[in-house]
Amino acid sequence: MFWLLFKESIFFAWHSLVSNKLRSFLSLLGITIGIFAIILVFTIVDALESNIRGSIQSLGNNVVYVQKWPWSFGPDYPWWKYMNRPTPQYFELEELQKRCKTTEAIAYRIGARKTIKFRSNNVQNALVAGISHEFYKIKNFDLSSGRYFTENETDAGYHEVLIGASIAEALFPNSDPLGQQVQISGQKANVIGVIKKEGESLLGMSFDYQVIMPFNFARYIIDTKSENVDPTIYVKARPHISNAEMMDELTGALRSIRRQKPGVEANFALNETSLISQGFDTLFDLVGMAGWIIGGFSILVGGFGIANIMFVSVKERTNLIGIQKSLGARNIFILLQFLSESVMLSALGGFFGLFLTWLITLLGKDAIDMEIGLTGANVILGFTISILIGIISGFIPAYSASQLDPVEAIRTN
């Protein structure tokens, strides 16, 4: 019985919407704009968050970075204390490898912007990184072809390099990069591997435009004494060893290596990816809130528009309501009839809002080198909001219609 009432209510609602096309269009326009604004913001935020968290994850949750500067500054902390700190040195890597027992891998890295050449082709401003051998155990990257350095090649500083996918495409558009010789700052190097394409990283950590070489080869190309090369020691914890436990050991070892007396403030920073994640969590929360506020106003206007249209619809069909009730239509039937119309209006607005969002994301894929798409969760969220707005906006007009006296309603012209 309820299903029959509901089915008839849907039929009457649809007939009313089709009969008043302009009114229906104006009613759902506000909902369309509101859903579009909210879901588009959430879709973009999801894409940004996925990209950034993927970049952060590539850094490693169980990796600690020994650097001169901390990633988070305390309030009112004198910056000159950081300025006077020494940068991590390569010999410290070797000492840490001897002293630390909680670490699975320790690597050293420096980097500088250089021009890479092959015959008449060149790539400017590529990031050239000099690394120690265990770097591959800490940083996640795959090779599309070729191989990684052997330990002997890394220690001896062989003139060999791994190149990113974008560099390979620019230098070798019609040939195989493997075995070819590139030139970097006057030094020749053999290409032994090509890193698999990763796409753009919002944190600037993509390997696509990077050239990786042994540190002892990089000495001839990069000024290793310069702070601008961002010297960093990467330390990865053993399985079942917490970062806190490893950091305690690192602190003691580094203080000993640098001969710091007890009670003296450490002259190095131990950074974790959790510091970055916490900062972005706050940022994403703020952007999400902005999306709710921007879209919320549009939805609020659209909701009032639907409520207003529904009151007009009740007024226009008062006589019909009286006839329906006099023929035995129950209050629930009248309520469902108008509530269905309101929900249908709002759901249609939500559908068009989601369609616009999908269209924008489809066009956006060609404009930006980043995965962006309308997720199932956001589709469900969009329709849920639409239906709730339809119920809330249409309930009072629908309820007032269901409570009309049939005799008085029939007399109304």
What value does the mean pLDDT take over residues 91-113? 92
Show the tokens assigned to 73: 């500054």
What value does the mean pLDDT take over residues 396-401? 81
Show the tokens assigned to 222: 């990069």
Range picked from 101-110, 368-377, 402-411 for highest mean pLDDT = 101-110
Instruction: Judge whether 36 and 356 are in contact, CB under 8 Å.
Output: yes
Give one DSSP letter per residue of 157-199, joined into a string.
T-SEEEE-HHHHHHH-TTS--TT-EEEETTEEEEEEEEEPP--
> Would you say how long the chain is, in residues?
413
Q: Give the tens place of pLDDT for each residue, 45-61.
A: 777 777 666 666 655 56
Which of 86-90, 136-140, 236-240, 332-336 shows the lowest per-residue confidence on average (mean pLDDT)? 332-336
Could you count the other beta carbons within 10 Å of the beta carbon of residue 33? 20
Give kind and range of the element (H or E) at residue 130. Answer: strand 121-131
Show the tokens assigned to 344: 């249908």
Q: Is the confidence at residue 252, as pLDDT, over 80?
A: yes
Range picked from 14-18, 343-347, 353-357 for highest mean pLDDT = 353-357
pTM of the model: 0.64
Q: Is the confidence at residue 183, as pLDDT, over 90?
A: yes
Range picked from 19-23, 77-81, 114-118, 237-241 for highest mean pLDDT = 114-118
Confidence of residue 63 (pLDDT cuts 50, 70, 90): confident
Q: Is the confidence at residue 103, as pLDDT, over 50?
A: yes
Phi, psi at residue 181, to the nearest 5°?
-110, 120
Closest CA to 234 of 336, 332, 103, 340: 103
pLDDT of residue 250: 92
* DSSP-derived pairing of the beta strands 187-195 and 160-163: parallel
pLDDT of residue 132: 93
Q: Is the confidence at residue 116, as pLDDT, over 90?
A: yes
Chain Cα centroid distance, residue 66 = 26
Rounded to whole angstroms, the Cα distance separating 411 from 403 reads 15
Q: Give the tens place of pLDDT for each residue, 298-324.
A: 677 777 777 777 777 777 777 777 777
Confidence of residue 77 (pLDDT cuts 50, 70, 90): low
Mean pLDDT of the chain: 80
Rounded to whole angstroms, the Cα distance separating 41 from 315 reads 38
pLDDT of residue 1: 46
pLDDT of residue 211: 94
* DSSP-derived pairing of the beta strands 232-237 and 63-67: antiparallel
Q: Is the confidence at residue 199, as pLDDT, over 80?
A: no
Rounded to whole angstroms, the Cα distance separating 264 from 204 reads 35
Closest CA to 357 of 30, 24, 25, 41: 41
pLDDT of residue 36: 79
Classify 327 as helix, strand or coil: coil
What is the percentage of the chain residues whose pLDDT exceeds 90? 29
Could you count the other beta carbons within 10 Å of the beta carbon of residue 86? 12
Look at the block and give the residue holding tokens 């226009």.
316
Between vectors from CA 183 to CA 179 and to CA 185, what angle results, nearest 5°?
150
Q: Is the confidence at residue 382, as pLDDT, over 90?
A: no
Q: Is the confidence at residue 180, as pLDDT, over 90?
A: yes
pLDDT of residue 253: 92
Which of 69-73, 106-110, 149-153 shows the lowest per-residue confidence on average (mean pLDDT)? 69-73
Q: Is the confidence at residue 260, as pLDDT, over 60?
A: yes
Closest CA to 129 of 197, 218, 223: 218
Residues 89-107 as b/e (b if ≥16 CB within 10 A, e otherwise) read bbebbebbeeebebbbbbb
Show the tokens assigned to 51: 């990209």
What value does the mean pLDDT take over residues 242-270? 89
Q: How far is CA 355 from CA 366, 381, 393, in A?
A: 18, 14, 23
